[in-house]
A and B are shown apart, each in its own frame.
Chain A
């Protein structure tokens, strides 16, 4: 009988990642990033689906067994899922049962309303930061970014990280809004 990932199991999995609820959420996002990067850079056709499959397997296993090194384990499972996906792709190439892989489903077009809503939810400082960061022509960018980092009393690397984190918040918000 195929085991299923239930809401309870998912909650236990988050707790397994980190007993602190907020930190668990962050670690979950980070794990997804690692896995989707792994599959995408391996040029897997359905990187997101393979990421989900890996996480589902880890969720089921973590509820049954003691796993010492979580991330190393996740990497091992990802490699297995990857190898299986390669086998499936080869099977699809059998001429007798040739199947044209479906086009990668297009993401829903970007919702401007959701973006506006989510930009409004950012702090005024972060909203201004993003709009300033992407505002000027490329030749002025170096000067602009220097000016921003100076006004925020931060280094350019720290500025890039702050822009990345703010965009990440925005992304999650927009995805939730569109769901």
Chain B
């Protein structure tokens, strides 16, 4: 319910008196009074309606609905009069309006000649092809420029399709003030392209733009459309998943739901293209976010099989190492001791010391030397000489290691 209430379409319907369902009406009203941003959105939408009416941009049905609201809304009527007066003033300004034959009369005489009509048809087809080609090229150009802006610092934790590696900075907008103007130009061009020739590519490009600006609901809205229009495009699903993932971080109550959505999209993307590294990376990140540690570890390991050397791989390794360490931290004391003793008995020195290193800084009962000393005392008290000796030997092993490697005498038995 939440997101749909804030959509421009719902707000316009509300303002045109088209919301009659009491529950929806009350939800909108409550939000109007409780949420400053929503109130601004409603004010902006109402002003947009008035402007569109004056500029003749409403279709006949909406124009009629708009007129019907005026009798009960004197404030809107006053603002309408004001806008109409402004429009008249604007049109009355001196302009180059030399008399010339009307466009439609020129067109009619042109089509009366069959040869021109045929040639025009060919030109029309060529123009249509050119529009599709240039709009796609234009989108590509805008995305290339957008990527170049984020070459030094990336705007999202997730990987956006075809964006090169850059360290993460969660700054809003441009990474440097000089890029603000470029961002505005890109946004204008993408909005125009979408208004003039809306297709999967234009929606995707606009969605990616919103994603980089951390405008996640807008990004989701555009990327959902792109993914529906071209459901087999793995990159569209990846970027939609990214938008959900980033949204999850900003909205704790909807975190799990948004992460679930993100996981679905990344999984879909990897099904469509098993080598799409961005989606593999993002899927691992999401599994980690959802607390599926084992699956996340497997997923990071799979990622590293496909990408072992890029800077993204370094991040993947850090995640993997973090998960492994975390796994130790979450183990119960007796499990840590059991794992340590197993490694010690197998003379797997590296593994035993790894477990010791991971727990020694915690200064709780999980620490291996602490547990060994308890084990030693219990064994001595119970007359179990073998276990007591083994515990003591293991403590000596740790003490030697600390003394020789770290010049640390605290653990010396």
Contact = CB atoms under 8 A, between A and B. Distances in A.
Contacts of A156: 187-188, 191
A74 B47 contact: no
Given A71-B34, A134-B86, A134-B90, A141 B55 contact: yes
Contact of A130 (B33, B71, B72, B86): B86
Interface string B34-55: 1000011011101110010011
By secondary structure, the B interface counts as helix
Interface stretch (A8-16, A31-39, A88-96): A31-39
Interface in A50-90: 71-72, 74-75
B192 A40 contact: no
B93 interface: yes
A144 B276 CA distance: 41
A48 B74 contact: yes
Interface in B176-210: 180-181, 184-185, 187-188, 191-192, 195-196
Interface residues of B, number: 54
A160 B47 contact: yes
B74 A34 contact: no
Contact of B77 (A30, A107, A155, A160): A107
Contact of A75 (B33, B72, B76): B33
B87 interface: yes
Given A43-B17, A138-B55, A161 B44 contact: yes
Contact of B46 (A37, A104, A115, A154): A37
A34 B184 contact: no
Given A38-B32, A150-B188, A156-B187, A33 B39 contact: yes
A104 B71 contact: yes
A117 interface: no
A115 B72 contact: no
A46 to B, nearest CB: 8
Contacts of B87: 134
Contacts of A34: 32-33, 39
A167 B73 contact: no
Given A41-B14, A134-B54, A141-B57, A167 B83 contact: yes
Contacts of B57: 138, 141
A112 to B, nearest CB: 7
Nearest to B18: A41
A171 interface: yes
Contact of A40 (B39, B54, B56, B73): B73
B75 interface: yes
Contacts of A130: 86, 90
B89 interface: yes
Interface string A102-129: 0010010010100100010000000000
Contacts of A24: none
Contacts of B191: 146, 156
Nearest to B55: A138
B63 to A, nearest CB: 13
Nearest to A174: B82
A115 B323 CA distance: 67
B48 A160 contact: yes
Contacts of A72: 33-34
A107 B46 contact: no
B93 A71 contact: no
7 contacts: A75-B33, A132-B90, A134-B54, A150-B184, A156-B188, A163-B47, A170-B82
Sorted from nearest, which 7 A-B pairs have the closest CB atoms?
A40-B73, A75-B33, A134-B90, A164-B47, A135-B90, A134-B87, A110-B81
Interface of B: 14-15, 17, 19, 25, 29-30, 32-34, 39-40, 42-44, 46-48, 51, 54-57, 69, 71-79, 81-83, 85-87, 89-91, 93, 95, 180-181, 184-185, 187-188, 191-192, 195-196
Given A40-B76, A115-B86, 4 more contacts: A134-B90, A138-B57, A146-B191, A153-B184
